[in-house]
Each structure stands twice: as C-alpha cells, then as structure tokens.
C-alpha cells in the first residue's frame, strides 16, 4: 500500500473515498460536500467509536467515522477507528482512501491512523488460489493542516514490518523452516547477519539449544543480526527471540487439538527479526544485536528425553523434566550468547507459557525482569504503541522451584503453580548482571482480537521494540 501525507484539503487529493471523523458532542469540522453534518443531525452518522456512515457527494464517497469522546481519544483508539474504516472501505471498493486528521490531536494520532489502516488491510494469501474479499486498498493519504509526513512515513514503515512478521508467522511450518527464517534475515537491509548451523551451535557449547533441535531432521539455526550505525555510542541493546518453527512438545507430546497453531511458536523470533530490520531502515541512533534461536521441537529416536541432563553455554546443567518446556532451553543459550556479544540491555520475546494466557488473556503480555528502570522503559514503550504488558514479580521462592534434583536446575516443575514466573526465573539464571526484561507473548502472538489484528499472526512486539529503540536511543541510563 502506498502511503503519503499532505497538507492539501481532502477534496483536492485524488482519493475516491474521504474519511472525516466526528467526536461526541462536536460537529463535523469540515463539511466539505455540505452533507456530512446532516448525516450526524439525522442520527444516521453517530459519534461512538467504530460507528460509520457512508454517503456520496461530488463524485466521491464520504465516510463519517465516530471517534468517541475526545478526552478518551488516543493513538490506540485511532488505530481501532482506522481499522474499522479500512474494512468498510474495502467493502465499497475503495482504491485511494484519504483520512482527514482530526483537529487538535498529536502527531502520534496521524501515525496511528496509518498503522490501523495498513495492519487491518493485511491478508495472508500465499496459498489461496482466489481472493474473495474484493479489491485491495491501493493507497492511503493522510491530510492535515500541518506537515505530518515524518510520523506518517515512519508509521507506514513499521506497520509493513509488522505485516512482514505476520507473513513469517502465518507461513506453514513445512515452508517456514529454521533455514528459511535465516534466509529471510539475510534479506534485511542495513544490517549484518551471521548464521550458525547444528554443528556451529554444538561447537559454541549451546547444549540446551542443541538438545531441543535433536529430534528434528530440519537443521536448527542460530541467527545473529547486528545493526551498528556509524558514530553512535551508548549501551548495546540486545533483542532475543524464540523461534521454534513447530512445537509438537517433543517426547512430552502436546494434545492434538490446536497443535496446528504451534507453527506460531516462532512468533518472538519473527518480531525480533522484523523489528531489527525496521530499526535499521529508520536509521535510529542505537546499536542493536539480535539473537534468534530457530529450531523445530519434534519426537524421534534422536530427541531429548525427560530425565536427560544437558549443559548450557554458561556451563549450567539442566535436568529435562518436560520436553515441552523447550523454549526456555533455546532462550537460555541465546541470552547467554547475546551477553557474550556485548549486550548491555536485554529484552527477550517468547511464546513461552500457556499460563500467561490464563492470566492475561489477549489483552496484556507478561513482563518479568531483573531491573525496575529497564522494565519501566519496556512497559512505557508498550503503552505508547498499544502493545500492553503487565509486570509480574520475581521472588526467591519461585527461583527455588527450579532447583534440580540431579542437575543445577530443572527445565520444568511438576506443579502448575506460577508457571509463567517460574519459567522466567529459569531465564534469569542466564542473564547475569545485565538489565533484562522478558515478554511472554503466548497470549498476544496470534488471534489477538484487535480490530487491526483479529485473527492469525499479529506481529505483536515489532512496534514495541521499535519504539523502545527510538526512545532514549533504545538503551537509557538506568539508576
């Protein structure tokens, strides 16, 4: 989709459909065809959020979009409004859509209108022989009294990165193998990429990661992406993603119901990959090292078994209690690798525990970390992007739960108590003294239910990570 900003009035553009928003208890700011306020006065157009009315005038379509109360209107509500409009615009055959930015709102709203439109217009059709949803929206114009080209262009770039992550998520596991994910990383612009295969992972001492990969004939890949702009100093931001491209549970096999969704177990890695690419394309002044552990988790005669003991990159021995607790094994070695590469701030994203979905549903991701200030920065980035996360605690009693009977630690516990926190306590063992934040995105990675990402892969985390990198150079001083 082509996206551009303009200071022209909407009727002066080449749009075939113009959107004018209306707030509660306010009239239509610009009634260009002289028919929009009449729609409001008659009750056909309503000001409640997601309420739409369509009319025709001067050989164009006009959509009056309800925005709700002005005091409650924020970028997230702008995304929702834009997504709702995008759906209707497609139904009526719109090719070129123009949004008039509401008066007296910040530039973040202009960007959010772009995000909501681009994200809602996404469809995964790689394996569809026909598209039954009608013609796609070709162009979006954002009209404002002042120049909003920067937030508009940047929002379009980030939204496209989110949609690229969704492509990676939605691809079937027989196509989106660890090897293919690594090849996609090599296509990113402005970064350097290093990839280790099975032999390289084992040679690097990553016994936890290698153990997960043993059950599959597909080669695992350790993907390292560096973005190191010239003349940029400051702490190195480490982004770590779990990319289990299919998770059967291994020997501790999952129930068959919904197992097809386990292609989404690489969602954290997809988000880290595309966020790093977007950071580079935006030219943000922050140094980044991204580490993605990609593998399948399958049962076979070679697969790791309950009761096995493996040794992680740090030398820590791990007793395998449940082979379906594989993500923490992959992340353990990836976190340690990021630190070895110099990361001074860490964020990991992983579809780590079903327990987090029980706790938060689809509204929040779980946030657990070792540093108060760093977790606050991560949470604030989520607030600004609408990718919400809620902090859960660490505690020595949770840490005690992962003590191993025969090894230093165990990868799972027999009880189901505090499952998401106990998993995070496991990861914490591999982060040393580096400020670290863990995002458990098992509830938000797919079927999010938002107007702009209702079904399938959501690309959750791309916008949060880009915003984190944008704010304070991505790696603020911590106190």
328 a catalytic residue: yes
- Which residues touch 479 (CB under 8 Å, ≥6 apart)? 373
Instruction: From the candidates 61, 328, 384, 450, give the one annotated as an active-site residue.
Output: 328
What is the rounded distance in angstroms from the CA atom of residue 81 to the CA atom of residue 407? 53
What is the rounded distance in angstroms from the CA atom of residue 134 to the CA atom of residue 346? 43
What is the rounded distance in angstroms from the CA atom of residue 153 to the CA atom of residue 156? 5
What is the rounded distance in angstroms from the CA atom of residue 300 to the CA atom of residue 302? 5
Burial 341-362 (b: 16+ CB within 10 A, else e): eebbbbbbbbbbbbbbbebbeb
- Which residues touch 396 (CB under 8 Å, ≥6 apart)? none
Instruction: From the candidates 46, 60, 95, 254, give the one annotated as an active-site residue.
Output: 254
DSSP H stretches of helix in 52-124: 75-91, 107-120
What is the rounded distance in angstroms from the CA atom of residue 465 to the CA atom of residue 285? 14
- Which residues touch 130 (CB under 8 Å, ≥6 apart)? none
Cα atoms found within 13 Å of the Cα of residue 459, Cβ hemisphere only: 31
254 a catalytic residue: yes
DSSP string, 155-177: HHHHHHHHHHHHHHHHS-TTTS-
For residue 246, give the DSSP letter.
Answer: E
Nearest to 127 by CA among 171, 69, 87: 171
- Catalytically active residues are 254, 328
């Amino acid at each position: 989709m082509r996206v551009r900003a303009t200071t022209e009035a909407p009727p002066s553009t080449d749009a075939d459909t113009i959107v004018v928003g209306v707030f509660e208890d306010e009239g239509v700011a610009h009634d260009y065809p002289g028919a929009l306020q009449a729609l409001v006065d008659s009750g056909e157009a309503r000001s409640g959020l997601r309420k739409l009315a369509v009319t025709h005038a001067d050989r164009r379509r006009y959509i009056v979009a309800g925005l709700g109360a002005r005091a409650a209107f924020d970028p997230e509500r702008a995304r929702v409004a834009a997504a709702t409009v995008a759906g209707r615009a497609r139904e009526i055959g719109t090719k070129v859509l123009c949004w008039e930015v509401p008066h007296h709102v910040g530039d973040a709203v202009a960007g959010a209108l772009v995000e909501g439109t681009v994200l809602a217009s996404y469809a995964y059709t790689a394996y569809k022989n026909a598209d039954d949803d009608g013609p796609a929206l070709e162009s979006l114009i954002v009209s404002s009294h002042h120049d909003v080209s920067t937030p508009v262009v940047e929002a379009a770039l980030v939204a496209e990165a989110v949609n690229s992550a969704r492509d990676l998520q939605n691809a079937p596991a027989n196509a989106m193998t660890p090897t293919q994910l690594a090849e996609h990383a090599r296509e990113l612009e402005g970064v350097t990429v290093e990839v280790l295969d099975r032999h390289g992972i084992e040679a690097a001492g990553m016994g936890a990661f290698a153990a997960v990969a043993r059950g599959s004939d597909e080669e695992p890949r350790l993907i390292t992406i560096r973005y190191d702009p010239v003349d940029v100093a400051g702490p190195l931001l480490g982004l770590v993603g779990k990319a289990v491209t299919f998770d059967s549970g291994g020997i501790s096999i999952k129930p068959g119901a919904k197992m097809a969704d386990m292609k989404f177990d690489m969602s954290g890695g997809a988000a880290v990959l595309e966020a790093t690419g977007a950071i580079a394309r935006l030219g943000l002044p922050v140094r980044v090292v991204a580490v993605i552990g990609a593998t399948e988790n399958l049962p076979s005669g070679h697969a790791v078994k309950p009761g096995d003991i493996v040794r992680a990159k740090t030398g820590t021995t791990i007793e395998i209690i449940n082979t379906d607790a594989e993500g923490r094994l992959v992340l353990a070695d990836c976190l340690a690798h990021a630190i070895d590469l110099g990361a001074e701030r860490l964020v990991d994203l992983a579809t780590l525990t079903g327990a987090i979905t029980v706790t938060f549903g689809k509204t929040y991701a779980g946030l657990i970390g070792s540093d108060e200030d760093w977790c606050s920065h991560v949470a604030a980035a989520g607030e600004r992007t609408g990718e919400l996360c809620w902090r859960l605690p660490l505690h020595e009693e949770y840490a005690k739960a992962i003590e191993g009977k025969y090894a230093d630690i165990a990868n799972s516990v027999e009880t189901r108590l505090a499952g998401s926190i106990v998993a995070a306590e496991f990861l914490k063992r591999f982060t040393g003294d580096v400020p670290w934040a863990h995002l458990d995105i098992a509830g938000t990675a797919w079927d999010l239910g938002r107007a702009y990402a209702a079904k399938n892969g959501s690309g959750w985390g791309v916008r949060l990570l880009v915003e984190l990198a944008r704010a304070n150079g991505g790696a603020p001083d911590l106190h």
